[in-house]
Amino acid sequence: MQNREGCVAADRNDPLAQYRDRFSLPEGVIYLDGNSLGVLPKDAPARAAQVIAEEWGEGLVRSWNTYHWFDLPVRIGDKLARLIGGTAGECVATDTTSINVFKALGAALDMQREDHPDRRVIISERENFPSDLYVVEGMIELLDRGYELRLIDEQLTLEAALGDDVAVVLLTHANYRTGRIWDLPTVTAQVHAAGALVIWDLCHSAGAVPVALDEANADFAVGCTYKYLNGGPGSPAFVWVADRHLARAKQPLSGWWGHARPFDMAESFAPAQTGRKFLTGTQPIISLATMEVGIDIALSVDEAALRAKSLELTSLFIQLVEERIPNSSLTLITPRDHAERGSHVSFQHPEGYAVMQALIARGVIGDYREPEVLRFGVTPLYLGYADIWDAVETLRQVLAEEPWNNPEFQLRGAVT
Amino acid sequence: MQNREGCVAADRNDPLAQYRDRFSLPEGVIYLDGNSLGVLPKDAPARAAQVIAEEWGEGLVRSWNTYHWFDLPVRIGDKLARLIGGTAGECVATDTTSINVFKALGAALDMQREDHPDRRVIISERENFPSDLYVVEGMIELLDRGYELRLIDEQLTLEAALGDDVAVVLLTHANYRTGRIWDLPTVTAQVHAAGALVIWDLCHSAGAVPVALDEANADFAVGCTYKYLNGGPGSPAFVWVADRHLARAKQPLSGWWGHARPFDMAESFAPAQTGRKFLTGTQPIISLATMEVGIDIALSVDEAALRAKSLELTSLFIQLVEERIPNSSLTLITPRDHAERGSHVSFQHPEGYAVMQALIARGVIGDYREPEVLRFGVTPLYLGYADIWDAVETLRQVLAEEPWNNPEFQLRGAVT
């Protein structure tokens, strides 16, 4: 598209255009941060109000039965399973992504300890979202059995790292900084061929990039619901376990919500035989129930159309930046190859933090990540082609007008 | 009090009577289950609506800064610390009680492993809330280093169990079935004298029974906020760590929210040096913010007056049952001694489940716990003396009129 009119025309022909009306978007904002915190579905406030006033306020403790609160993690988990190519019973909505990484890692290490007791290496990516690495660190120190974290990066490829000492591979499907995605089926097969198990972190792909876990024969997956699934700030995460592992998988955070018969109040733990065994304690019902609204919207969307529009919008963003802001200090760090690109676009810029502050001040909300990275999330459900045009135009103005275009001005110190 | 008029008069003179107006109570209900799920504070719906519409909907990702969401677990944790006799920085509001037990247990075992490597016993109570025991079971299996769970009960007292092989003692301050409370300062000293560390579960005491953790020299504590603190269904729990342990304590669920500088996105974990180190992943902001309303009410209450009224109401309940329903099959299992009683009253009854169903049908909401236990929670903030009279009168009618008073009628099978 060579001009704004072309973008407006594309919006008119967009088969997903009607979804924008399902969300509340603030006036005067182009929101390019749905990969950090998704927007508010219009039906979410009413759902939350109902849970609070009717279910909690009127129903009180009876609502555990009347409204099946205890089954909410499983019911929503079944919906999430559909979204990520799993089947009912494999997934629960619960806790946080980090805690779910701990559970999946514990289960995977336990299986490998039985099958391959000498495998003591956990592979992950140096560029992974740091919390995933912190969880692995914590697990290694806790177990204190000589496990080792091996980080792949530009120097050490996955292929080279996958020795016969590897127990588990923990990868994030779409990278949080660059937006690069792994070829999930191919990598899963590669990990299995090396005798290891794989845990996929889907935080930056669930709801934005098609995922087919069962088809790929994946082992474990985790992810969050507050980005592309629009579940609300800090809405509960999910953990998915392949059906074939469910009977055997033992997650270390055993608690009453994962018990086969929780209300027997038995002295000993006996795990449920479905994904419910990955639950631990009492879940935050208000956040959990509210997030279902966003997930229901995601379930109603045609996945192929969503992916197509996402790629068109990220490609348009890249094209417009390169054509309309030539000779800028922006360096694209997101892959150009569609097969390797998630749903956001990132550029490095030496004054990235200041540039992002200036963009936000003008209503174009992306975010900044160390080091020097401007992230622009593209969420096809509520963004259009003209939004991309306008965002790039604002970026062009910011870079043209603001003092950091002048190399003598040390801006970084001036911005808090 | 010998009659209803006496109860009504006591309500008129009740210094806490004005608190009832801070809560939404359904018409026609006497709510004796605040020890399971507390009631809705009148200000909670507006607070939740604000978080959802303004903070999430309008503020979007900017609200992490504008509304200090990231500090919410610490800010609310500081308030909780005041409620349980701790100091700012010792407590965070986060995750679930079971997960917090895991963190505290992990930290305590780690300290003991360094100080007393041969101590491999974890003491708890057979009558503890089962999830606490499941967490210990899970930890023991995960570590697989010969740890052992030793359960105290009527046969094995704490004193007899406290050998020089004990690393950690995990006790629930107020028992979930009987309402019996431990003498927290005395037991803490006893555990320390035996060279062990203590973790107190305050689920059934925080907000109902005075707790002074710093004064008692306690080590760790956990608890929930959805019972006497009226935080809402499944509202996040808390974990408290004595200031003197904070620098050293290492909790095993390390994640970015517990990092000293989370937004550096550093590759390695470096824990915060306050209670924040007990955080792991992104918290459910809607549930967390909403629960603060109940905690603020609890903080405004005179603790001594609350405890005095709680004991008067539970004593009245016991007295009225014994005087007005003589020769029933009800067996009191809650201690008569005030020093040993929490804030609920429990009776066993051979048809306990059916009796409770009949009570609930008549608007007197308590709950049933296996085996055969009728629990009646007494929450002095929104219950009065006449409520207790009316509840006991309903219990009297149920036991007098219903078929299970007839031993030939096998009721249990008829009730689902």
Residues of B in contact with A48 (CB under 8 A): 48-49, 52, 286
Q: How confident is the model at residue B408 (pLDDT cuts 50, 70, 90)?
A: very low
Residue where a domain terminates, one of B265, B300, B335: B300
Cβ neighbours, 10 Å, residue A67: 19
| Whether residues B116 and B202 fall in one domain | yes
pLDDT of residue A414: 32
Residue where a domain terminates, one of B300, B334, B350: B300
Q: For chain A, what is the mean pLDDT?
A: 95
**Is A56 in Cβ contact with B280 (below 8 Å)?**
no
| Whether residues B296 and B312 fall in one domain | no
| Whether residues B189 and B266 fall in one domain | yes
Per-residue pLDDT tens for A120-160?
Answer: 999 999 999 999 999 999 999 999 999 999 999 999 999 99
| Whether residues B245 and B364 fall in one domain | no
Q: How confident is the model at residue A403 (pLDDT cuts 50, 70, 90)?
A: low
Give the burial string for B283-321 (b: 16+ CB within 10 Å, else e): bbbbbbbbbbbbbbbbeebebeebbebbbbbbbbbbebb
Select the residue of A45, A130, A254 nearest B256 (Cβ to Cβ): A130
| Whether residues A188 and A333 fall in one domain | no
A80, A91 in Cβ contact below 8 A? yes
| Whether residues B271 and B228 fall in one domain | yes
pLDDT of residue B370: 86
Q: Averaged over A152-170, what is the pLDDT? A: 97
For helices B303-324 and B385-401, give the axis angle rounded to 10 degrees.
Answer: 30
- B294 CA: distance to closest CA in chain A (Å): 13
Residues of A in contact with B235 (CB under 8 A): 284, 286
Tokens representing B359 are 């009570």
- B58 CA: distance to closest CA in chain A (Å): 5
Binding-site residues from annotation of A for pyridoxal 5'-phosphate: 97-98, 129-132, 172, 201, 204, 226, 256, 282
Q: Averaged over B144-158, what is the pLDDT? A: 97
What is the count of structural domains for chain B?
2
A47 is a domain residue = no
| Whether residues A185 and A322 fall in one domain | no
- Enumerate residues 175 to 204 of chain B having a beta carbon within 8 A of any beta carbon in chain A: none
**pTM of the predicted model as reported, rounded to 2 decimal places:** 0.96
Tokens representing A402 are 């603001």
Sheet strands (E) in A144-244: 148-152, 166-172, 197-201, 220-223, 238-241
**Cα B193 to Cα B171: distance, rounded to the nearest angstrom:** 16
pLDDT of residue B411: 39
Q: How confident is the model at residue A370 (pLDDT cuts 50, 70, 90)?
A: confident
Task: Report, as residue numbers or ranges, the catalytic residues of A.
Answer: 129, 201, 226-227, 375
| Whether residues B270 and B368 fall in one domain | no
- Is residue B410 pLDDT above 60, yes or no? no
A321 is a domain residue = yes
A152 is a domain residue = yes
B181 is a domain residue = yes
Would you give the distance in Å from CA B395 to the centre of its chain? 26
B49 is a domain residue = no
Per-residue pLDDT tens for A326-361?
Answer: 989 999 999 999 999 999 999 999 999 999 999 999
Binding-site residues from annotation of B: 97-98, 129-132, 172, 201, 204, 226, 256, 282
**Is B33 in Cβ contact with A282 (below 8 Å)?**
no
Task: Report, as residue numbers or ranges, the catalytic residues of B.
Answer: 129, 201, 226-227, 375
Helix ranges, B40-183 (H):
44-49, 63-66, 72-83, 97-115, 130-143, 158-161
pLDDT of residue B401: 87
Closest by alpha carbon to B5, among B389, B330, B339? B389
Residue A346: domain span = 4-41+302-409
**Cα A135 to Cα A214: distance, rounded to the nearest angstrom:** 25
pLDDT of residue B415: 30
| Whether residues B78 and B223 fall in one domain | yes
A53 is a domain residue = no
pLDDT of residue A367: 94
Looking at chain A, the whole-number percentage of residues with pLDDT higher than 70 is: 96
B57 is a domain residue = no
| Whether residues B207 and B313 fall in one domain | no
Q: Which of A33, A103, A254 to mutate to test the interface with B (most CBs of B within 10 A)?
A: A254
Q: Averaged over A382-396, what is the pLDDT? A: 98
A157 touches chain B (CB under 8 A): no
**Cα B1 to Cα A243: distance, rounded to the nearest angstrom:** 61
A83, A299 in Cβ contact below 8 A? yes
Closest by alpha carbon to A94, among B99, B61, B252? B99
| Whether residues B274 and B369 fall in one domain | no
- B93 CA: distance to closest CA in chain A (Å): 12
B59 is a domain residue = no
Taken as a whole, chain B contains a residue count of: 416
Residues of A in contact with B133 (CB under 8 A): 267-269
How buried is residue A190: exposed, middle or buried, by Cβ count under 10 Å (0-12/13-18/19+)? middle
Q: What is the CATH number of the domain that holds A389?
A: 3.90.1150.10
Tokens representing B412 are 């249990």
pLDDT of residue A404: 60
- A354 CA: distance to closest CA in chain B (Å): 15
Residue where a domain terminates, one of B300, B326, B359: B300
Pairing between β-strand A148-152 and β-strand A121-125 as defined by DSSP bridges: parallel
| Whether residues B31 and B108 fall in one domain | no
Select the residue of B60, B250, B367 nearest A365 (Cβ to Cβ): B60
| SS3 category, B10 | helix
**Is A252 in Cβ contact with B139 (below 8 Å)?**
yes
Q: What is the CATH number of the domain that holds A151?
A: 3.40.640.10
Per-residue pLDDT tens for B19-40?
Answer: 999 999 999 999 999 999 999 9
A346 touches chain B (CB under 8 A): no
- Enumerate residues 86 to 125 of chain B having a beta carbon within 8 A of any beta carbon in chain A: 95-99, 102, 106
* Phi, psi dihedral angles at A412 (to 5 degrees): -50, -40
